[in-house]
Amino acid sequence: GNSVTQMEGPVTLSEEAFLTINCTYTATGYPSLFWYVQYPGEGLQLLLKATKADDKGSNKGFEATYRKETTSFHLEKGSVQVSDSAVYFCALSDQFGSSNTGKLIFGQGTTLQVKP
Amino acid sequence: DSGVTQTPKHLITATGQRVTLRCSPRSGDLSVYWYQQSLDQGLQFLIQYYNGEERAKGNILERFSAQQFPDLHSELNLSSLELGDSALYFCASSATDSVALNTEAFFGQGTRLTVV
């Protein structure tokens, strides 16, 4: 079945450092891909998404490109801030036939800690 | 604030008991999803309802059941509780029955269930 694999954390960076969180997926067909963020004590918030190959999702300085050839959707940010400290989840939309469904399949999550 | 309301926020109960978790979706959203987040299993999809009907089922135990009412709120019932059921249970909602293109899933803050 479809699955998502994320790099294990925690990832600890200094403020203004470059961030990459790796995400690869296994899927038949063409799922939509997502990054969600979970701040302490809160629910998940959609950070960005991409719906087809070569699409780039971006939001709040974060970017990720849907790479079908490498089945990847790595999250990047050029300069992280302390306020970016959170857990980041990569996810894909499950499919029924060629259609995306409402079900999301999540990776294990990567904890990011940014130090001043 | 995502607009998805979950109650209660915290629940502590004994093994063998039964509990009900409640979710009110965002205004106008027809789909409700339930997810379980545990340390060992990560975020797992349990079940989806769309406009009152069950739409998709994940790895939901037979001891667990859910329903969506005519006013679109949903309840997740967990019975014969075991220590391993301790987890954070998230509800999410979306406008349609899929999460692609222009439809987004919005998550509540979760109900933390502790079984003792």
pLDDT tens digits along A12-65: 999 999 999 999 999 988 889 999 999 988 889 999 999 889 999 999 999 999
Question: Using one digit for the tens of pLDDT, what is the confidence trace for B30-66?
Answer: 999 999 999 888 899 999 999 999 999 998 999 999 9
**Which of A44, A47, A96, A111 should we substitute to test contact with B (largest number of B Cβ atoms within 10 Å)?**
A44
Query: What is the three-class DSSP state of B9?
Result: coil
Give the nearest partner residue to B99 out of A45, A100, A109, using CB atoms. Answer: A100
DSSP B17: -
Q: Are the Cβ atoms of B2 and A51 closer than 8 angstroms?
A: no
Angle at the Cα of A72 from the Cα atoms of A14 and A37, rounded to 5 degrees: 50
B26: Cβ contacts below 8 Å, ≥ 6 apart: B2, B3, B4, B93, B106
